[in-house]
Structure 1
Amino acid sequence: MIKRIENLIILCLGFCLGAFVGILSAPTKGSIARDEVMYRLKSSKKKLHAFILKLIGHKNDLTNEAKNSGKEVITDVVSSAEQILKELELIAAQLEEKTQ
């Protein structure tokens, strides 16, 4: 229990020391920093909203592109599997010739 209290006291002291150093070393006044942060947050929110609307508008395009990419991958896999099957048949024929 004493160890827990000591850890809590150390945590509080660290928080207070960090806040004190942060206030002393701040490059601008708090009100200016808060205004800048709010401006950046609002700007980011507008950009994110525009991006979401753009994605919603191109949703079908993205879906069609994904389908086409998937079909290409499936076609490549099927052709590779057919090639492997042909090679296996060739190897089996060669082994058959050697065993006879």
Structure 2
Amino acid sequence: MVKRTENLVILGLGFCLGAFVGILSAPTKGSVARDGMIYNLKSCKRKLQAFILKVVRDKNDIANKAKTSGKEVITDVVTAAQEILKELDLLATELEQKNQ
């Protein structure tokens, strides 16, 4: 527990030191950097909202595609299992014939 606390304190100090050095060596004024970050955050927010709206709008279509894909996979598995059963039956009959 003590080691974990030490690690967290060291991590916090490293974060503070990195922020301090970053502020001192920043190539632009803070107001310009903040404005740029705000613009980028708003842009990301708009993109995320558009994505969420698209997912909500296409929810039924996505669910239908997933159901169709799932049914196809199940059908493939059942077909493969039936083929394996047929092959096992053939092998069993061949072995029985050889033993007689």
Shift of 1:22: 1.7
What residue is the counterpart of 2:46 in the other structure?
A: 46
Percent identity over the alignment?
67
What residue is the counterpart of 1:61 in the other structure?
A: 61
> Number of residues paired by the alignment?
94
Shift of 1:27: 1.1
What residue is the counterpart of 1:25 in the other structure?
A: 25
1:25-81 Cα distance to aligned partner (Å, 9 max, x none): 111111111110011001110111011111111111001000000000000000000
Q: Which has the larger radius of gyration?
A: 1
1:86 aligns with 2:86: yes
Q: Tell me: CA distance 1:14–1:53, structure 2 relative to 1, closer, same or farther (3 Å).
A: closer
- For normalisation by structure 2, the TM-score amounts to 0.82
Q: Tell me how far apart the structure 2 counterparts of residues 31 and 97 of structure 1 sit (CA, whole Å).
A: 89
Q: Which runs of 4+ in 1 moved over 2 A?
A: 10-21
Contiguous gaps of at least 5 residues in structure 1: none
Q: Give secondary structure in 2 for the equivalent of 1:27.
A: coil
Q: Tell me: CA distance 1:67–1:20, structure 2 relative to 1, closer, same or farther (3 Å).
A: closer
Q: Tell me: CA distance 1:15–1:70, structure 2 relative to 1, closer, same or farther (3 Å).
A: closer
Amino acid of the structure 1 residue aligned with 2:33: A
Q: Tell me how far apart the structure 2 counterparts of residues 24 and 95 of structure 1 sit (CA, whole Å).
A: 83
Shift of 1:23: 2.3
What residue is the counterpart of 1:99 in the other structure?
A: 99
Q: Tell me how far apart the structure 1 counterparts of residues 95 and 88 of structure 2 sit (CA, whole Å).
A: 10
1:72 aligns with 2:81: no
Contiguous gaps of at least 5 residues in structure 2: none
